[in-house]
Structure 1
Amino acid sequence: MIKSFDPEKNEWFSLLKRPTQTVEDIEKVVEQIFGEVRDQGDEAVKKYSRLFDGNGSPNLEVSESELANAPLQVTDELKKAIDLAKENIRKFHTAQRTERVSVETIAGVKCWQEKRPIQKVGLYIPGGTAPLFSTILMLAVPAQIAGCKEIILCTPPAKDGSVNPVILYTAMICGIKRIYKVGGIQAIAAMTFGTESIEKVYKIFGPGNQYVTVAKQLATKYNVAIDMPAGPSELLVVADQSANAAFVASDLLSQAEHGADSQVVLVSLSKQLLEEVEEEVQKQLEVLPRKEIAKSAIENSRLIFMTSEEKALELINEYAPEHFIICTKTPDFFVEGINNAGSVFIGNYTPESAGDYASGTNHTLPTNGYAKQYSGVNLDSFTKAITFQEISAEGIQKIGNAIELMAEAEGLQAHKNAVSLRLDELKASKNE
């Protein structure tokens, strides 16, 4: 881990740089695959599944027999854990429902706003070395609450063409019936354009590696929305001498094990704690099954000592972490001052893992500094707001002249006429 002691502000940019490739490095590959999937459909999807996943299965969709067999391969204990998490996620996201907003802006002019579900959504669920079945809960549960009519799921298969049974089981209990054995860029392309087997969707959700992130961004050029740019995982912990070094180290490693391109950062207000955490990281790292992956991520990570809470907060807001853990004697200072973070975890007994799985908040969050502009996935991510207005004869007379004047000032005569004709008719009817 790279250590830095009270860095000057002009050093922050290089110190906080993420270990990610630039879009230019990846975009050509993504554009090539997108073009082939658009033109060749399933044939191109299967080609890249063989190339990237080693999957030669002729069928892209998970079969009914595979779905029926999946629950038999999941232990009762894990099913109970998934149920607990699902219920907490349901409670938190149900609480996010909002009522219709209605107001009469002036006598006779009634305006209101209502939420409507996005009808067709696609969920991307990472598989590979870490089958993230928990992400299904984070995406499918709010999609169901919102009322999305069509929900499809793409996830990369194993080389033998199978999909992890826990992914299938979790999808089933969330009401998802269309599941496809497709990962990576080709999955995003398939949901963007539609193929013979996979439906085109209106919005794509789900995290992934840097290639998936760029693919999602490219999808927006083809009239498909995305939840956010969500790439390699990251975590920042701010801590002082009141923190437990072992806890802090375990949190850093919990994100480091996601992938070699993950990044974790400790901003410490205590030099002693910084040294203790560094020792704990090395000790805990040795016994991790995903040691090599975590080790690579740790090499990209930072231990930063700051002399004051004020400077620490400024640096943290500049970094805009996906996950932000606060372990200090005065957490309120950071809770009230944080503007740029995906999700915040407060206190020694609030591990980031809780948000990843079962506390109820959503773990699909903006990374790579996008927490400055984006929210994490929430119920509104699966809806759109439609505005309505109804204007009476009294109402058009009250605002009509203002509309005419503004339209004329912009040189839009037809806009003015649309009001003038109505006002003239109302005047004529009064004179009769």
Structure 2
Amino acid sequence: MRKFAIAAVWCLSVALAACGGGGGSSSDTSTSASSSGTPSAPVSSTPATPVQNTMSVSVGPNAYRIANSLSASVTICVPGTSNCQTIDNVLVDTGSYGLRLMASAVTLPLPKVSAAAGGTLATCAAFGTGTTYGSVATADIKLAGEVASSAPVQIIADPTVGTSPADCTNQGVGDLNTAQALGSNGILGVGLESVDCGPGCVVNTYPTSPAYFGCTSAISCVPTTVALADQVTNPVSMFSTDNNGVLVQLPAVPTSGSQSLTGTLTFGIGTQTDNGLGSATVYTDSLSTQYKGVTYSTSFIDSGSNALFFEDPSITQCSGSSTFYCPLSNTALSAVMTGANGNNTSLNFSIGNFTTMASGGAYAMSALGGYSSSYFDWGLPFFYGRTIYTAIDGKSTPGGTGPYYAF
């Protein structure tokens, strides 16, 4: 969740968030060995049956009255058992990495991960207006027919590791320690990286902005290093197949908005007949966006952001403390997105009046925009009517090695 806004559909409250867990990266491409020799008899083999790699995602009315919240249901199990539960209303986020669930939504006795500094491992994910803090546990994560076995996940607001320490909350402007504050029961991070911090956290504790803690009690937590294998991990990278990225496919939405819609989240890129790149163009990370003569070197495509966020003082913002734009009429705009590989494209988009769309009962808003001063965030409105690919760093795909976006 690089940047996202939580917006009550009939209330103009908003919170911006930034990518949590640190800025490291990992390369976890796998290699396979083959044997050679002359068999004594012909050997035939049958290709493995492809697993179900597509699951439903949706936008629509929700308990938290959030516009453009792309949600899915996630099944978790105690590792190696059939003791499982399914958790609904989990935000699908191509801008962060790893599964993070509210403790209030988890009923299973998931085993906790031990910290190098002693005690239980806890983690802090920093966002623009808040932080999620909680323990790290392991779970088998089941998405469609795919399984990430014994994956490290964050259990937000787990009382066994206490309340968020100052070293964590100081990284944001609020403590996202309830489903209401987070706007969902959790976050399914399926973005560009395999783990949420990377090699940096293996050797550094980052005392001024720690990502991981060792907690010997609920009131005694200290920053700690953490092995890659124990970091909160993008579950897609742990699948036995279809593990090099995802594609999100959503239907088009009129500028007036829609009450609800259903789309698909497909795992793997070029690994099955349903996830080929086709004619999509690859834009390697990092992206830049040029808008009205200004080039934003920080730019990204993020399903966890519920609006297109960019700076334009000429567009009226909604009344009160809202970050969203409320022009008198729909405003047609354009920008140029460029990948690190030099591929670029001109993109046309429209910004509408948030208050008008909300009062009409819309939850899916293709014309929702909001103000930001230092980045250009192609949030969920950019996904409507498109198929967006997100390739994981270090993973091989038909479009080259990740990280990249494609559409």
The alignment's TM-score, normalised by the length of structure 2, stands at 0.23
Answer 1 or 2: which has greater helix percent: 1
Answer 1 or 2: which has greater strand percent: 2
Larger radius of gyration: 1
The alignment's TM-score, normalised by the length of structure 1, stands at 0.22
